[in-house]
Amino acid sequence: MIFGPPGSTRGDELGLQDYHGCMPTLTEHLIFLTDHRDRDHLELTLCKAVVDLLPIERVVVSRVLSEDGSRRWLEVASLDVRGGGKVVDPLRVDFEQLPLLEEHGDRLRALETNAEHTVAWAGEDGPRITYMPLFAPNPDEELGVLELHTDALVPADELHLVHQLRHVFRSMYQLLAYSDRDGLTGLLNRQALDDTFYKAVLDELGVKPTGLAQLQSTLEPQQERRHRVPPNYWLGTLRVDGFSKVSEQHGHLLAEEVLLLIARILGNTFRAYDRLYRLGGDQFAVLMHCPQDALVHAAFERLRANVEKFTFPQVENITISAGYTRVTPDDSPAAALERTEDAMEYGRQHGGNQIHHHAELVSRGIKPGQPRRGGVDLF
């Protein structure tokens, strides 16, 4: 999502320099950082606070994405004092086109040393970039770097303010991450699915949000929005075939272990930026951005095969069934989930260990939405 070219006045016209008609104070920015439950807005909120409160020319937040052992940089948010900048949806990125960590050595140094450092290219009093780790050194924490582009050396008191803002960012990020996660598997939960789903649908419809989201959305020219290719979001759900028998025969503790292993296989099969959820019991979901049905089907087929060939302790062989659908502009989470569950249940009722696209079943004259047996969500 492009905000506008650096140096343009579009930012002033759209109110980027203020939210309420005047430059926000530190207290107001702290309210902005703590006033919403959307982690995807936190980086932009942090950038806005730094640019507003300090003589910073440009702020960039970069995150580390991992896939198949490769680690790359994604600039998730940037903002400059003239209003130019961007926000990137991780669901839509082409991982192979992102720069490797080694291609930005100064960012990498901030991560490896867990300390800030400054690079000046025109003398000690000239322009420079200050790099600092975004998150605390925790093996379970995500990795990221905050960059401050300035015309001169940043005074110690101003850097201290940045550290304070970064501390608030970290606290809010951890709090929201905890509230968005399933307690057993660590995957995202249903509330997180609803939040991301509505953002994707609103974006496809071109709806203009209110509040902080307006800062993110209004920076893209409306003409570009009308003529761009619609985002190809897909939602899929899956369940373990015969999971109730696993619980009955082996007990709840072993059934929980099966769910944990399924969650791990999901993480190893899908891309780092695909969204993985546990909806309850043995039901999981995947929200992804992909241009073609065939690629979506191939991803779920890889998952099915990976589960089938995995040896689960004591239980040994487990299979799954899954259904998926394209997200449409008039969808609600419940409507899209119902289609995926109908396709999934069709596979379960016809032997299990199957993947089905809801639209493909309908095109074959199959009505997959047959009455389903009720279930109880365990764990």
Q: Among 5-19, 81-95, 243-257, 340-354, whose mean pLDDT is lowest?
A: 5-19
Compare 46 and 141 and report the one with higher pLDDT. 46
Whether 78 and 58 have beta carbons less than 8 Å apart is answered as yes
pLDDT of 216 above 60: no
Of 11, 52, 14, the C-alpha closest to 33 is: 52
Highest mean pLDDT among 15-19, 80-84, 189-193, 239-243: 239-243
Q: Among 181-185, 285-289, 304-308, 339-343, whose mean pLDDT is lowest?
A: 181-185
Compare 123 and 285 and report the one with higher pLDDT. 285
pLDDT tens column, 267-283: 999 987 899 999 999 99
Taking residues 202-229, report their average pLDDT.
45
Q: What is the pLDDT of residue 7?
A: 36
Taking residues 154-175, report their average pLDDT.
88
Taking residues 131-152, report their average pLDDT.
85
Angle between helices 26-34 and 42-53 (to 10 degrees): 180
Q: Among 31-35, 88-92, 113-117, 215-219, whose mean pLDDT is lowest?
A: 215-219
Q: What is the pLDDT of residue 369?
A: 67
Distance between CA atoms of residues 52 and 150, nearest Å: 13
**Given pLDDT bands bounded at 50, 70 and 90, which one contains residue 227?**
very low
Q: What is the pLDDT of residue 40?
A: 65
pLDDT of 192 above 80: yes
Q: What is the pLDDT of residue 376?
A: 42
The average confidence (pLDDT) of the chain is 80
Please state the separation of Cα 320 from the chain's center in Å.
Answer: 25
* Ordered DSSP codes for 318-357: --EEEEEEE--TT--HHHHHHHHHHHHHHHHHTTSS-EEE
Q: What is the pLDDT of residue 203?
A: 62
**Given pLDDT bands bounded at 50, 70 and 90, which one contains residue 172?**
confident
pLDDT of 129 above 80: yes
Q: What is the pLDDT of residue 91?
A: 77
Structural domains in the chain plus CATH codes: 2-179 (3.30.450.40), 231-363 (3.30.70.270)
**Given pLDDT bands bounded at 50, 70 and 90, which one contains residue 109?**
very high
Q: What is the pLDDT of residue 179?
A: 80
Taking residues 205-231, report their average pLDDT.
44
Question: What is the b/e burial string over 96-123, where b = at least 16 CB atoms within 10 angstroms of the residue's CB?
Answer: eebeebeebeebbebbeeeebebeeeee
Q: What is the pLDDT of residue 375?
A: 45
Query: How many percent of the chain have pLDDT more than 70?
Result: 77
Place of tokens 């109730």: 244
Please report how many Cα atoms fall inside a 13 Å half-sphere around the Cα of residue 323, on the Cβ side: 23
pLDDT tens column, 305-336: 999 999 998 887 899 999 999 998 888 899 99
pLDDT of 238 above 50: yes
pLDDT tens column, 350-379: 999 999 999 999 999 987 765 444 444 445
Please report how many Cα atoms fall inside a 13 Å half-sphere around the Cα of residue 103, on the Cβ side: 10
